[in-house]
Copies of this chain bind each other. A is one copy, B any other.
Amino acid sequence: MAGSSSITGTDWIAVDWGTSSLRVWALGRDGDVLAKAVSQEGMGGLAPADYEPVLMAHIRTWLPETAVRSVPVIVCGMAGAKQGWKEAAYRVAPCAAVPEGEMIRVPTRDARLSVHILPGVCQLDPADVMRGEETQLAGLAANLGPLDATVCLPGTHSKWVRLEGGRIAGFRTFMTGELFSVIAGHSILRHSIAPEGENAAAFAKAVEDMLADPAGLTGALFAIRASGLVGRSDGAAARSRLSGLLIGAELAATRPQWDAKPVHIVGSGSLIDAYATALKTAGARPVRQDAEALTLAGLKQARAAMLEIQS
Which residue numbers of A lie inside 8 Å of B, CB to CB?
A: 90, 122-124, 126-129, 157, 172-176, 178-179, 182-183, 185-188, 213-219, 221-223, 226-227, 229-230, 232, 246, 249-250, 252-253, 255
Taken together as a complex, chains A and B put the C-alpha atoms of A299 and B178 apart, in Å, by 42
Residue contact B253 to A215, C-beta cutoff 8 Å: yes
Interface secondary structure of A, over-half rule: helix
Residue contact B218 to A175, C-beta cutoff 8 Å: yes
Taken together as a complex, chains A and B put the C-alpha atoms of A157 and B187 apart, in Å, by 11
Cβ of A255: which chain B residues have Cβ within 8 Å of it?
A: 215
Residue contact A218 to B174, C-beta cutoff 8 Å: yes
Residue contact B252 to A222, C-beta cutoff 8 Å: no
Residue contact A216 to B182, C-beta cutoff 8 Å: no
Task: Given A122-B230, A230-B127, verify A222-B188 contact (CB < 8 Å).
Answer: no
Task: Given A188-B178, A219-B174, A250-B218, verify A226-B128 contact (CB < 8 Å).
Answer: yes
Residue contact A226 to B129, C-beta cutoff 8 Å: yes
Cβ of A175: which chain B residues have Cβ within 8 Å of it?
A: 187-188, 218-219, 221-222
Task: Given A218-B253, A253-B215, verify A129-B173 contact (CB < 8 Å).
Answer: no
Taken together as a complex, chains A and B put the C-alpha atoms of A250 and B219 apart, in Å, by 8
Query: Closest CB of chain B to A122's CB: distance in Å?
Result: 5
